[in-house]
Amino acid sequence: MDVPKLPLLGDQFPSLTVQTTQGPMTLPDDFAGQWFVLFSHPADFTPVCTSEFVAFQERYEAFRKLDCALIGLSVDQIFCHIKWIEWIQEHLDVEIQFPVIAANDSLALQLGMLHPGMGTQTVRAVFIVDPQGYVRLLLYYPMEIGRNIDEILRAVKALRISDQQGAVPADWPNNSLIGDRIIIPPPLDVSGAAEAKQSADCYDWWFCHKPLE
């Protein structure tokens, strides 16, 4: 049996027609022109997944302000998704506002979301996709470890900024060396390197930075 090629960084996100808790959708077409985060979870009505859904919803407005949609996914049936969302609202007083995809095994395999030896439960995968439909970040967590949703939100912010202003450092925006400043691409010739050495905003010609705009 041919194994589907998993989408990698820089690949166009594969075209998928899916059933969600908010009706049928086609990815990435229905989100053309905006960012989206697609995240899978092992199963509905499980503690870690419930904690993640609540955490995503708590940051729903923060993602929305970045023009970034959230989309959940597992291989549970749509009826199970709906009942779980109802349970979260009834018992935890949290209304899940993002759609949740009811995937089949074929779709989950196509996205690398089925863990070998773990039956049909999907791993905790995250795809961040840009407004042109390209995969910009991939994360895969094991079933037993919940995701840090703030890191996913930070990654969307950083990708948006890096597209316009330059690379961001470790732990941005709280980097121990340059704070929230942006790394400038290094010069490509000797004269540019010599000029950069004289700048107060450079540790050396290959490590220069500028304020966040």
Q: Is 49 marked active-site?
A: yes
Task: Tell whether omega for the bond before 99 is within 30 degrees of 0, i.e. cis.
Answer: no
Based on the number of CB atoms within 10 Å of its own CB, is 189 exposed (0-12), middle (13-18) or buried (19 or more)? exposed
Tokens of 176: 């121990």
In this structure, are residues 37 and 68 in contact, taking their beta carbons and an 8 Å threshold? yes
Instruction: Give 184's strand partners.
Output: 208
In this structure, are residues 19 and 101 in contact, taking their beta carbons and an 8 Å threshold? yes
CA distance 203 to 201: 7
* Annotated active-site residue in 49, 68, 80, 208: 49
- Going by their DSSP bridges, the two strands 100-102 and 16-20 should be labelled as antiparallel
Active-site residue numbers? 49
